[in-house]
Amino acid sequence: MDPMPILTDILFMIAGVFLDSSKGWFSLVDSALVVAGTWGILRKGGVKGWWALVPFARYEKLGKVAGREAEGRVAAVISVFVTLSRLAYQLIELCLASIALSAQQQDLLFNAMDFVSIVEIVASLIFFIYMIRIFLGLLEVYNRRRRWLLLWIAANGVVSCIWGWDNRFQPQWTAEEMRTDASTYFSNARATVLDQGLTVNLEERTATEFFQKKYLLRDIHMYIQPGHMVLLLGGSGAGKTTYLNAINGYEKAKAEVVLNGRNMYKEYKDMQYDIGFVPQLDLMRGSDSVYRTLMNAASLRLPVGFSKADRQARVEEVMNIFGLTPVQHNLVSKLSGGQRKRLSIAMEFISNPSLFILDEPDSGLDGVMARELFQQLRKIADQGKIVIVITHTPDRVIDLFDDVIVLAKDANRTGRLAFFGSIEEARAFFGREKMEEIVKSINRREEGGEGRADEFILKFAEVQHG
């Protein structure tokens, strides 16, 4: 048996692992160009170029340069599956070509090849999707048009070399500059804990992703006065829902949350009905009447000492507040959109909470119905309650709010506090008249925004720092 073909195959395998390439001279040359180009891109981005020579890790470093660290980590892990499945296929192929096997053994190996092929195809598709995300980040960093994406798909190696070694292609910022932006500057501020109102001192809220600690929220400190209705703004992924879950005790963070002098985390069981939370989607049964729905809510949320007569009196009071008395005998399934929204709010209001949180309560409502709903929320706040609301159409009811919280993603995609204060102060701080324009200013460019999140996070952190 001539050992040269086998030796050549083994050399191809080694080169393929090193370059993340499949077998074939053309593929090896293209992959070598990718490695060379990646070396230049990493070097321009402030990362050691030799990382391009390290299998799998090069994608994590490329993601870092592109401002897509999470995508880079995923691409690195997936590339391991692609390479291992490719190696397994080639080893099986080599065994079939060079070793005498029985028919049964050959069948087993052919079945194994089919399975490995499927794994490689699926992993390659996922890898390709994440590499597109990384390249979109590079487009933003290099301030280039999206048509380059098509060129990259058609000729990855050539495009990588152009971007890596042509001096006309220079990043607007380096990976180190991303990290020394708002992502590493913290206010070290701490809101004073008072006996009345809501105090939030949130250091961090984390999760584990691919065995690595990921920051969802960091450095959020504020004090909200009783009787204030507060708008919570932020683009997609800024951490609005995560923030609300942290302050209502549903998902604890490394934080101190004090409502009217009581620590939410330490006294959660006693305080859980002191907070009313109305999610975007209700879970009411359509076969129950309005009155029955509220009586069930009263049984769950009111103290055990309440008699049936006391519960009935509270239900009638709440129905009157929210204009539900005329439809108290109607089935929930027969209510209009506005009536259903009011009922979902009334259910939470049964326990007379001090803090009221609503996630898009105007979703699906027209302008008139939405304003009526927010006017009702304003009346609740005027009773000395704190009302915090997420809405994607804030400008039609902005006159009803006292304060605004603006959350934004920093360079590391961590939710941070970009502003907290009155509506007029927010307009002056951002230089924008409308709240929707404020959201646009902090959204990333690929989301249709201006990409100024870090600027305002830093600006507000410095204001808090004093």
CATH class of 182-465: alpha beta
Total residues found in the chain within this entry: 466
pLDDT over 70 at 38, yes or no: yes
The pLDDT mean for the chain works out to: 83
Q: How confident is the model at residue 32 (pLDDT cuts 50, 70, 90)?
A: confident
Residue that the structure tokens 């975007």 belong to: 280
Residue 311 dihedral angles phi and psi, to the nearest 5°: -65, -40
pLDDT at position 226, please? 94
pLDDT over 50 at 1, yes or no: no
Amino acid at the residue 394:
P
Task: Give the pLDDT confidence of 283-300 residue by residue, as tens digits.
Answer: 778 788 888 988 888 888
pLDDT at position 399, please? 94
Q: Which part of the chain is CATH 3.40.50.300? A: 182-465
Task: Give the pLDDT confidence of 176-205 residue by residue, as tens digits.
Answer: 545 445 555 666 678 888 889 999 999 988
pLDDT at position 463, please? 79
Contact 340, 361 (CB under 8 A): no
Contact 52, 38 (CB under 8 A): yes
pLDDT over 60 at 11, yes or no: no
pLDDT over 60 at 69, yes or no: yes
CA distance 38 to 61: 10
Decide: residue 17, CB within 10 A, 0-12 exposed, 13-18 middle, 19+ buried.
Answer: middle
pLDDT at position 4, please? 41
Nearest-10 crossing angle of helices 435-442, 453-465: 100
Contact 381, 357 (CB under 8 A): no
